Amino acid sequence: MLQIFKRLFSKKSQKSQECESILPRNRFADLDFERVLKSGTCYRVDEEGRCVEDGKITLFDFSVDFAEFELIGAFKIEEEDQFQQLLAHLNSFDNVIQSYLESEMQKPIPQYAKDLGYTQKRWEKTFYFHPWILSCEENPPNLQYLADYVNNGFTVYFAKKHGRWKVYWDEKCQNVIKE
């Protein structure tokens, strides 16, 4: 009898945790990045971004694999391994960023937004971002997010510390995004 109550309670708590998450999670959980890398549209570009056969930078367009948004990846040919490593961790990075945005969303609406006529629902929409460009050609590698409902965006940066990739708010990789 006790086992039945435990199962019922655990199912209820799992559902309540899922309901508590307003922003999407696990957007990259089911992607097979090996297949994506083989099937994505690939371009070779030069330093200025022009398509050339002998370009040193590879651009991948993954729009076919994402129903809700397009993700572009860029890396130097010799840094393909680094690109694949970041792709492998992209789901966990995105979940951490979504969690942070969700915590910011829960704070009271600032006065400037109230003055502009923002309601709670409209304010929440300003926190809907999707990953747009994953760039390993730059130092440090970074991921740009684009807003869905407002003209806004932000960039996060990656660095490998103690053999593990971490995500940061700043280009100098000092302000880590907490997991």
pLDDT tens, the chain, 179 aa long = 445 544 555 544 444 444 466 898 998 887 777 777 776 677 888 888 888 888 888 887 766 455 567 788 888 888 888 888 898 899 999 999 999 999 999 999 999 999 999 999 999 999 999 999 999 989 999 999 999 888 899 999 999 988 899 999 999 999 999 86
Confidence at residue 88, expressed as pLDDT on a 0 to 100 scale: 87
Position 10 in a domain: no
Position 179 in a domain: no
Instruction: For residue 136, give Cα distances in angstroms to 58, 68, 71, 116, 156.
Output: 10, 23, 13, 38, 12
Cβ atoms of residues 23 and 127 within 8 Å: yes
Confidence at residue 20, expressed as pLDDT on a 0 to 100 scale: 62
Tokens found for residue 73: 């990846």
Position 107 in a domain: yes
103 lies in which domain range? Answer: 33-168
Confidence at residue 66, expressed as pLDDT on a 0 to 100 scale: 55
Q: Is the model's pTM score more than 0.85? A: no
Position 15 in a domain: no
Element (H, E) at 17: helix 2-20
Total domains, the chain: 1
Position 25 in a domain: no
Position 40 in a domain: yes
Cβ atoms of residues 135 and 76 within 8 Å: no
Position 88 in a domain: yes
Position 4 in a domain: no
Confidence at residue 32, expressed as pLDDT on a 0 to 100 scale: 75
Confidence at residue 2, expressed as pLDDT on a 0 to 100 scale: 47
